[in-house]
Amino acid sequence: MADKKLSGAGLRGQSAGETKLCTVGKSGSGLTYCGYDVSDLADNATFEEVAYLLFNGELPNQAQLDAYIAELKGMRDLPEDLKSVLKLIPKDAHPMDVMRTGASFLGNLEPEVDFADQNRAANRLLAAFPAIMTYWYRYSHEGVEIACTTEEDSIGGHFLALLTGKTPSELHRKVMDVSLILYAEHEFNASTFTARVCASTLSDLFSCITGAIGSLRGPLHGGANEAAMEMIQKFSSPEDAKIQMAGMLERKEKIMGFGHAIYRESDPRNVIIKKWSKLLSEEYGDSSLYDISVACEEYMWDTKKLFCNADFFHASAYFFMGIPTKLFTPIFVCSRLTGWAAHVMEQRDNNRIIRPSADYTGSEPRSVNPIAERG
Ligand SMILES: CC(C)(COP(=O)(O)OP(=O)(O)OC[C@H]1O[C@@H](n2cnc3c(N)ncnc32)[C@H](O)[C@@H]1OP(=O)(O)O)[C@@H](O)C(=O)NCCC(=O)NCCS
């Protein structure tokens, strides 16, 4: 086998197409959506504004935003048949399998009629995903059949209200909103590329999103925030974190929540979510998990020059908000759906089927021996 880095394995550094949606590691803080820096969006916009931006290319004005929020709020409830399917999924199912089934089954009940229907289909998924996740979770774990609508205007607030059955605090609403913005879009990452490949066959939006969820499920992509949470919960103190991480590195284990395929020195999303995690830790009244996370960050940088990616401080932030670890990656779905759907729309606008070639490394041409003569 050729050296992975020299052979271009993982298509690293190779352009696989054009996009107007996003730059990664190029300008501003390192991440832009439609020309806006992610830190500017996190400070000055809401997730609904970002969703509108990705689907329409421009930020909405107030009237457009009000209409968009009203439209999304009106699309939140789940069909009874979907609720029945969610009730059948066992408690120990992987929550990403629940999201995959939810997206796919909704596509059976309310298929995308044609490409002119793509915005409705994308908005329907955006509005329905928080309920798909929490309806299954609360039914299978608590035996409760929740109502799938709330009065919350924001998708982040709506999710928290569905999960807890309570009105979320302003701080929690704000952090969920920022988190959804940070995860919304990231150029040709594995799950988005999956969606684009599927779209390039002129398939329907629900198939593109279902496939993307499958790619996001893997621990090297979306699953890293859950793995980071499991890791930091095992550390009893900042000192213990450093000792245990040294052992992990010696055993050549991957430390989840660190490193990135494109960013080389830092992930611009980290500084933003880290700030909110600190504020949450103060509200929570016990900052030990935050302090342990900071120790991990310092240790990895000092020893390996590896930096936290978006997932690492998301782990403690979600923990402080009382979100069960198994729902971390499904929240990523609720957000990244916007990027996926925007890429599907962009692919359809100027489509050619994506069909790369491979460098053949198999045997020389040969002919089939009669079976009795084979060793
Ligand atoms: C994101 C990731 C898949 C990128 O992989 P990649 O592009 O192959 O990474 P790089 O080429 O920068 O890796 C350089 C070296 O650092 C090591 N490295 C990278 N991330 C590491 C991590 N989190 N822990 C330990 N070592 C790591 C690699 O093993 C590699 O070592 P090698 O040269 O001995 O093979 C990788 O960093 C990783 O697995 N991180 C953990 C999972 C994660 O947090 N994913 C979420 C991404 S947003």
- Mean pLDDT calculated for residue range 59-67: 98
**How many domains does the structure of the chain reveal?**
2
Residue 1 has pLDDT above 60, yes or no: no
Whole-number pLDDT of residue 77: 98
Distances (CA, A) of 284 to 171, 175, 287, 290, 297: 11, 14, 7, 11, 21
Rounded to the nearest whole angstrom, what is the distance from the C-alpha of residue 61 to the centroid of ligand 1? 41
pLDDT band of 172, cuts 50, 70, 90:
very high
Same domain, 188 and 269: no
Q: Does residue 174 sit in the same domain as residue 212?
A: yes
**Per-residue pLDDT tens digits for 260-278:** 989 999 999 999 999 999 9
Residues with Cβ within 8 Å of 267's Cβ and at least 6 positions away in sequence, in order, are 30, 260, 307, 308, 309, 310
Is residue 186 annotated as a catalytic residue, yes or no? no
Residue type, 137: Y
Helix (H) or strand (E) holding 22: strand 22-24
Residue 198 lies in a domain: yes
Distance 259 CA to ligand 1 centre (A): 5
Question: Would you state the structure tokens that stand for residue 299, as one six-digit string?
Answer: 């240790």
| Residue 6: pLDDT band with limits 50, 70, 90 | low
Residues 278 and 345 in one domain: no
Domain-located, residue 13: no
Q: Cα separation of 213 and 228, whole Å?
A: 20
Ligand 1, pocket-test mutation among 183, 221, 260, most atoms within 8 A of CB: 260
Other beta carbons less than 10 A from residue 262's beta carbon: 16
Mean pLDDT of 67-85: 98
Domain for residue 193, yes or no?
A: yes
**From the CB of 226, is ligand 1 less than 6 Å away?**
no
- Mean pLDDT over 293-303 rounds to 97
Does the Cβ of 245 fall within 6 Å of ligand 1? no
Q: What is the pLDDT of residue 13?
A: 83
Query: Does ligand 1 lie within 6 Å of residue 259's CB atom?
Result: yes
Q: What is the pLDDT of residue 10?
A: 86
**Nearest alpha carbon, ligand 1 atom 10:** 261
Which residues does 352 contact at the CB level (< 8 Å), separation at least 6? 200
pLDDT of residue 207: 98
Residue tagged active-site, from 260, 267, 314, 343: 260
User: pLDDT tens, 23-47?
Assistant: 999 877 899 999 999 999 999 999 9
Q: Catalytic: which of 177, 204, 267, 311?
A: 311
**What tokens does 158 get?**
């709506």
118 lines ligand 1 (CB under 6 A): no
Q: Find the helix packing angle between 95-109 and 118-142, rounded to 10°.
A: 130
The pLDDT tens digits of the residues spanning 221-246 come to 888 899 999 999 999 999 999 999 99
**353 CA distance to ligand 1 middle (Å):** 31
Distance, in Å, from the CA atom of 101 to the CA atom of 144, rounded to the nearest integer, reads: 20
Same domain, 60 and 161: yes
Mean pLDDT in residue range 163-182: 98
Residues 270 and 185 placed together within one structural domain of the fold: no
State the distance from the centre of ligand 1 to the C-alpha of 367, rounded, in angstroms: 42
> Which one, of 190, 209, 250, 234, lies nearest residue 16 by Cα?
190
260 catalytic residue (yes or no):
yes
Q: What is the residue range of 161's domain?
A: 20-219+325-349
Phi, psi of 189 (to 5 degrees): -70, 175
Strand, helix or coil at 336? helix
Q: Could you tell me if 100 and 213 are in contact, meaning their C-beta atoms sit under 8 angstroms apart?
A: yes
pLDDT digits 0-9 by tens, 332-348: 999 999 999 999 999 99
Ligand 1 pocket member 256 (CB < 6 A):
yes
For residues 152 and 241, membership in a common domain is answered with no
Which pLDDT tens digit goes with each residue over 98-129? 999 999 999 999 999 999 999 999 999 999 99
